[in-house]
A and B are shown apart, each in its own frame.
Chain A
């Protein structure tokens, strides 16, 4: 596709349920990032994938959060046993992977836990 695509755009879930958020990066981009933006807050790094290397998971806030990237393309962020504090906009970005290349973001998934 022309840009980074995220789905769903909005998700409302009940506390305690599991959710999956999807990210389709720009074709050919080897690097993929997940960030979280809570209301009125800055962007919080969650996880980074680069090619076939082990992902940088240093930003995942708890073991309820996990992410995978299949075939070096599509990524899924899974949140288990959702809590109200998980409510936020989850943003995905991709880039060509070299440190001097531009990162492009999707429109985000707004997650609301009720």
Chain B
């Protein structure tokens, strides 16, 4: 059974810092990994999708990497801003089924 873990559970940083969020998964037979953000009381917004054959994806200040063999992904946020404050979730699709298995998230707060 696929299990997804995110560390840290919560993170508080001053504005302008670069930061890294971590995601690990137990079954490396994944099809893809997707990063989302969730604002309080809202749904999930897709940030980046990395297919299993890819090593990284970039969108603006965000860069996600994938090391499938070691079961890890990182989300790098450059020059953090208060508007980046949200919960960040990673999810994987594993062979044998198409459902997304989610991590428990990292709650990020970027302070002025």
Q: A residues engaging B (CB < 8 A)?
A: 4, 6, 31, 33, 35, 42-43, 45, 48, 50, 56, 59, 91, 93, 97, 99-108, 110
Contact = CB atoms under 8 A, between A and B. Distances in A.
A56 B46 contact: no
Contacts of A91: 43-44
Contacts of A59: 99
A6 B42 CA distance: 12
A103 B105 contact: no
A42 B89 CA distance: 9
Interface string B97-112: 1111111110000000
Interface size class on chain B is: 20 to 34
Contacts of B91: 43, 103
22 contacts: A6-B43, A33-B99, A33-B100, A43-B91, A43-B102, A45-B100, A48-B97, A50-B98, A56-B98, A91-B43, A97-B98, A99-B98, A100-B31, A100-B32, A100-B49, A101-B49, A103-B46, A103-B100, A105-B36, A105-B45, A105-B46, A107-B43
Interface of B: 31-32, 34, 36, 41-46, 49, 51-52, 89, 91, 93, 97-105
Contacts, number: 59
B44 A48 contact: no
B6 to A, nearest CB: 9
Contacts of B49: 100-102
B34 A107 contact: no
Contacts of B36: 105
B31 A48 contact: no
B99 A45 contact: yes
Given A33-B99, A33-B100, A45-B99, A105 B34 contact: no
Nearest to B101: A45
A6 B44 CA distance: 13
Contact of B43 (A33, A50, A101, A108): A108
